[in-house]
Amino acid sequence: MMQSEQARREYLRAMGIDVWVPRDQVDVEPVCTAPVTQTGTGDIGWDELRSAVAACTRCSLHESRTQTVFGVGNPEADWMFIGEAPGAEEDRRGEPFVGRAGKLLDEMLLAIGERRESVFIANILKCRPPNNRDPSREEAASCRPYLERQIELVRPKIILAVGRIAAQQLLQSDAPVGRLRGKVHQLDAAPLVVTYHPAYLLRSPSQKRKAWDDLCLARRIMAGAAG
């Protein structure tokens, strides 16, 4: 989706960023390759996958969830955004990133000329951890086959890992976001860029500039892939 410079500036202002300074060069650092884990969901399609997630009892989170949060967006999206896990609002509504952080994510999408309907948004976990605690390793491992199948089906041209949990889980790393961002990783067939979680950006608005840099890096990768 093309948009005017004026519109872009407005979205950037909504993100809390006043001026966009484009860079001439893609600052791509050496590729780190994450291990590929087995999907465990075979070659099932969207309908079957959605049903499997809705009926999932692989970990104890099914006991406390209101409903599963499968993911939303374009099933053939170029951009895939992966967050951590549903929060209270997402658990109620069955859609990822619909709370305050989701509104900021929407602004971030608009700033790169995308919308929630044009990208695909999913989470590491499909169920809400009680009291918004971090996902455990076991929960993330139980849920991973669903996400891997989603990635296989969408076949995104780029993946954005949104926040520490998503980045560390996807890259099987303990490094902080500050060390994982700013470079291009590889997850299976797609380049992966790490950025800050919008909930963190709401608490630390001074970091929005860096998040914008991450989005610009992703856009440059996309431009390279397209050209």
Residues 6+ apart with CB under 8 A from 147: 82, 122, 123, 124
Question: Which CB, 78 or 90, lies closer to ligand URA?
Answer: 90
Question: Which CB, 84 or 139, lies closer to ligand URA?
Answer: 84
Residue 180 CB, shortest distance to ligand URA, in Å, is 16
90 binds ligand URA (CB under 6 A): yes
Per-residue x/- track, 137-166, ligand URA (CB under 6 A) = --------------------------x---
Stretch near ligand URA under the rule CB under 6 A, chosen from 10-18, 93-101, 139-147, 177-185: 93-101
How many residues bind ligand URA (CB under 6 A)? The answer is 11
Query: Considering only residues 17, 53, 101, 158, which one is a binding residue for ligand URA as defined by CB under 6 A?
Result: 101
Q: Where are the alpha helices (DSSP H) in the chain?
A: 5-15, 46-54, 61-64, 88-93, 100-111, 137-154, 164-171, 177-180, 198-203, 208-226
Alpha-carbon torsion (217, 218, 224, 226), positive or negative: negative
86 binds ligand URA (CB under 6 A): yes
Residues 6+ apart with CB under 8 A from 7: 110
Is the separation of the CB atoms in 206 and 174 below 8 Å? Answer: no
191 binds ligand URA (CB under 6 A): no
Q: Token match 């169920």: residue?
A: 127
The C-alpha atoms of residue 47 and residue 160 are separated, in whole angstroms, by: 24
The C-alpha atoms of residue 111 and residue 129 are separated, in whole angstroms, by: 30
Question: Which CB, 156 or 163, lies closer to ligand URA?
Answer: 163
96 binds ligand URA (CB under 6 A): yes
DSSP notation for 120-169: EEEES-SSPPGGGPPPPHHHHHHHHHHHHHHHHHH--SEEEEESHHHHHH
* Identity at 34, one-letter amino acid code: A
Question: Which CB, 96 or 191, lies closer to ligand URA?
Answer: 96
Residue 86 CB, shortest distance to ligand URA, in Å, is 5
Question: Which CB, 90 or 106, lies closer to ligand URA?
Answer: 90
Q: Token match 């950025």: residue?
A: 195
Per-residue x/- track, 111-140, ligand URA (CB under 6 A) = ------------x-----------------
83 binds ligand URA (CB under 6 A): yes
Q: Which positions touch ligand URA (CB under 6 A)?
A: 83-87, 90, 96-97, 101, 123, 163
